[in-house]
Structure 1
Amino acid sequence: MELNSIKDAYDRVVKKQKLSASKSQEVIHQVGREIEQALTQILSAQDSSAPVDQKSILAELKLKLSAIGPVQLLEGSHKELNLNLSKYTKLLERSLNPDISKAYRDVDFDYHIVNQLIANHFYRQGLFDVGDGMIEEAGEPELAIVKSQFSVMHQLLEAMKVKNIEPALNWIRANREQLNHDGLNLELKLHTLQFVEIIQYGNRGDALKYAQTQLTPFASPASPHKDEVLKLMVKLMGCLLYPRRLENSPYSEFTSPTHWEKAMEDLTGLFCSLLAQSYNSPLSMTMAVGFEGLPTLLKLANVMAAKKQEWQAMKQLPVPVELGKEFQFHSIFVCPVSRDQGSEENPPMLMPCLHVLCKQSIMKLSKSSTRIFKCPYCPAEASVSQCRQLHF
């Protein structure tokens, strides 16, 4: 209900803002027309060499503007807008808790790591001046070690934005051993994009020559993706029938700008992988997870405070914090019997019937290491010795 009331209040503010803007434009145009008419009268009288009574024209203009009352009209529409805007901000303050301090644990931070995350984020985004200023203020100049590396990455990406693939190709060739097949795949993708560019803006002969020299080696018998490359080559050869009009051909899919965007994403991923960095900024991922989990944590804090219980001392939260799949980086097992999360001390165990429980649950069911116990989810029986630890 709170979200619905907030949305309704927001919609009212937007409606009033549009009405106010429309009314303001109407008043401004009306005033402008009266001023233009007065200027026209003055100029036309001067051109006719007749005496010009400018005072009377300006006096008439003043009367017309007073009749319009632009200040009063604008004040009225703005007053309605400000009234609704004030109600909206008050509703936000009542409905949303601006104090998020009670939703986090009071733990010690490693400020060096925090500074490193922030500096890396700015360098990763290409905000080199901001990153330099941050590490200078933090007094940790050694954090600039990744600046030069990310600077190279952005030089490659900037070149690709103007359809220049040579810097990226040179980088792939220089790091071919570390990139393995991923580097070859990106190299093939870049050559394909270049071939399409020649078809669109060059001539058929140049495109065919480029395919023979740059694309054919990827279809050699030693290539691990020979069959896939051959299928691609067939389509590319079909593109030769539509020079300079590929976007209106059966092969128009090759002209989509998303291919360049995907190639730039692949290059970014490979570059970050070579630096032992994640594709996404750890800082931005941490912030996104915090935003998604914050409502649940705030609600939990309020409930626990009402019960006069301290949730920060808990080893495990009593409620799940639902996060999207993009925030799940490793498998987590929760025992269906005890609801405990698997750990090194309490690992998941696979029973002969292929059901999985945590070790402590199995020990409780068996009551001893030799006693046979029944699976809680099927009629099968097992002993502790028959159970095997699972590794995710």
Structure 2
Amino acid sequence: MAQTSKEADPLLKELDKLERLSSFTSSAIRSTTKTKSPSISDSLDSLIASLKDAKQAAETGQAPEEYVGGLSSAVDDRKREVEERQKEIHSSLARFGRALDKKFPNPLPSYSPLFTSPKAAAALEHTIVSHFIRTGSFSVAETFLKESEMEAPDELRRQFVDMHRILTALRSQDIGPALEWAIAHRDALRSRMSPLEFHIHRSQYLRLLLSQPTPHLVLRYARRNFPALYAAHASEIQRLLGAVAFIPRLASLYPDFASPNIHTDVEAMFARDYCAMVGMSREVPLRVVGDIGGGGALARIEKGNKVMRDRKSEWSQTDELPIEIPLPPRNRYHSVFACPVSKEQSTEDNPPVMLQCGHVLAKDSWRKLEKGAGRVKCPYCPVESTSPPHRVFF
């Protein structure tokens, strides 16, 4: 998946070439480039070895003239290899620069220094160390904690050490820890209408189905684990059981069952439900900021800001720009309602209400527009509501 992404994105492709060309090992260079010359490190190591051989020969009384000619040739050869490698690196660096300019044609905005107060700096450091812990980079988190002199968030660390332990087991096709966790949190998962327990059993069932020459063990596993889940997943379980009759043609008749994504989806579902149980968002916040901001939001905001300055337009009172930032489906979160009249976000004391015409306002805005007896002239259409509006839940 990562390789496909690099091939699709010219910037990542050029960066990968640059990293490999500047690698210290020749094997990393030759794996993706057509060059047969060694790396700079290997060339220098070879030259040092030649110098040591000549020094040892001189110290043991051997005729130095036997080594002078070969040593001079070795120095010239190594010098030529280093120069060729540097030319390739500079050429790759230039291509990467052009790809970078093409990817980000607009310069990023410059702001005054951020996170200067102790409170803001502490919040940033906590966000960073939480990111390392949530992504499983525990050694990096330890180093960061020491260098920033922060106190270790022991509870957070314990929670995500356990989560990554279970994820590692799932990647090794061991469903035991994940199933044990799902059973221990069965009531909470059902309240969230999460199908995690069924998906864990489905993953194991399909592994048995694809690996067993006879269906006896597969059906035994189904009889032991599917009855308790049948009411909620009847149609899917019937399909899984029906696939037993077509084991030789499973890949063609049931391509989704043979797809590896059906197992990796269990990992993503488990991570989502685990984070929900410990009161964390399903996405890592720092990654979301990087994906949205680095994925084009900053460039769009800066371009919109520049257009407004050129047109001498004013920003809105809520510091908004009249542009839309396209987001991938996974980043379209449950939003908070903002009143189109007052521009204020709704609260429990000021909830969104719907007029008879279907337009939604904040309750305080409706009160200001009310003419008495619940009569309100909608600010967006000619319809006049003659009865009090009802609250809207998002």
- Note whether the superposition's TM-score is higher than 0.5: yes
Q: Partners in 2 of 1:101 and 1:120 — Cα distance? A: 25
Question: What TM-score do the two structures reach when normalised by structure 1?
Answer: 0.65
| Whole-angstrom CA distance in 2 between matches of 1:315 and 1:182 | 35
For 1:275-286, what aligned pairs fall within 5 Å after superposition?
Answer: 275-286=278-289
Contact 1:246 1:252 in 2 (8 A): no
Question: Does the 8 Å CA contact 2:336/2:346 hold for their aligned counterparts?
Answer: no
Contact 1:293–1:321 (CA under 8 A) maintained in structure 2? no
TM-score normalised per structure 2: 0.64
Which residue among 260, 269, 290 is the counterpart of 1:257?
260
Per the alignment, residue 3 of structure 2 pairs with: none
Structure with the higher helix share, 1 or 2: 1
The AA in structure 2 aligned to 1:240 is V
Query: Structure 2: which amino acid aligns with 1:294?
Result: L
Cα distance change of structure 1 residues 207 and 379 upon mapping to structure 2, 3 Å threshold: same
Which of 172, 175, 178 is the matching residue for 1:168?
178
CA contact (8 A) 1:239 1:246 kept: no
Per-residue Cα deviation, 1:178-225 (whole angstroms, up to 9, x for no partner)? 333668732222222222222322332222222222223333xxxx41
Cα-to-partner distance string for 1:156-192 (whole Å, 9 max, x where unaligned): 1111112111121112222223333668732222222
Instruction: Check if 1:316 corresponds to 2:316.
Output: no
Q: For 2:222 and 2:192, how far apart are their aligned partners in 1?
A: 21
Determine the C-alpha separation between the residues in 1 that align with 2:194 and 2:103: 55
- Structure 1 residue 331 corresponds to structure 2 residue 335: yes
Give the conservation status (yes or no) of the 8 Å contact 1:119–1:144. Answer: no
Residue of structure 2 in register with 1:215 after alignment:
226
Correspondences of 1:14-25 after superposition (within 5 Å): none
CA distance in 2, matches of 1:271, 1:150: 9
- From 235, 254, 274, give the equivalent of 2:239: 235
RMSD in angstroms over aligned alpha carbons? 4.9
User: Rg: which structure is higher?
Assistant: 1
- Aligned-residue sequence identity (percent) comes to 23
CA contact (8 A) 2:354 2:361 kept: yes
Name the CA distance, whole Å, in 1 between partners of 2:215 and 2:100.
66
Q: CA deviation at 1:236?
A: 3.0
Deviation at 1:283, TM superposition (A): 1.6
Q: Which runs of 5+ in 1 are unaligned?
A: 1-9, 29-61, 63-69
Paired letter, 1:213: R
Q: Offset of 1:342 from its aligned partner?
A: 4.2
Pick from 96, 106, 116 the counterpart of residue 96 of structure 1: 106
Distance 1:287 1:116, change over 3 A: same
- In structure 2, distance between residues paired with 1:119 and 1:139: 12
1:84: how far off?
6.3
- Equivalent residue letter for 2:359: H
Give the corresponding residue for 1:148.
158
Deviations 1:363-388 (A, max 9, x none): 6655x5469554344443236x7344
Change (3 A) 1:286 1:107: farther
Total equivalences in the alignment = 331
Q: Relative to structure 1, is the Cα distance of residues 164 and 365 closer, same or farther in structure 2, using a 3 angstrom cutoff?
A: closer
Task: Say if 1:148 and 1:357 are closer, same or farther in 2 by CA, change over 3 A.
Answer: closer
Distance 1:353 1:282 in 2: 39
CA shift at 1:263, angstroms? Answer: 0.9
Q: CA deviation at 1:255?
A: 1.8
Specify the SS of the correspondent of 2:153.
Answer: helix
2:343 to 340, 344, 352: 340
Residue 187 of structure 2 corresponds to residue 177 of structure 1: yes
1:297 aligns with 2:301: yes
Match of 2:356 in 1: 352
User: Which blocks of at least 5 consecutive residues in structure 2 are unaligned?
Assistant: 1-9, 18-28, 38-72, 74-79
Checking the alignment, whether the CA contact within 8 Å between 2:108 and 2:302 is kept in structure 1 is no
Q: How far apart, in 1, do the equivalents of 2:129 and 2:364 lie?
A: 44
CA contact (8 A) 1:268 1:279 kept: yes
Letter aligned with residue 150 of structure 1:
F
Aligned to 1:241, the other structure's residue is in SS state helix
Higher relative contact order (CA 8 A, sep 6+): 1
Q: 1:310 to 1:137 in 2, by over 3 A?
A: farther
CA distance in 1, matches of 2:175, 2:321: 53
SS in 1 for 2:166: helix
Query: 1:260 Cα deviation (Å)?
Result: 0.3
Q: Structure 1's 232 and 330: CA in aligned 2 closer, same or farther, altered over 3 A?
A: closer
Give the match for residue 125 of structure 1: 135
Q: Which residue of 2 aligns with 1:382?
A: 385
CA distance in 1, matches of 2:379, 2:193: 49
1:219-275 deviation line (CA, Å, top 9, x unaligned): 3xxxx41xx32x3343333333345x3544533432211110111111111111111
- After superposition, residues 180-219 of structure 1 pair within 5 angstroms as 180=190, 185-202=195-212, 203-219=214-230
Q: Distance in 2 between matches of 1:93 and 1:152?
A: 39
Residues 350 and 155 of structure 1, relative CA distance in 2, 3 Å threshold: same
Name the CA distance, whole Å, in 1 between partners of 2:286 and 2:172: 29
| 1:272 aligned partner | 275
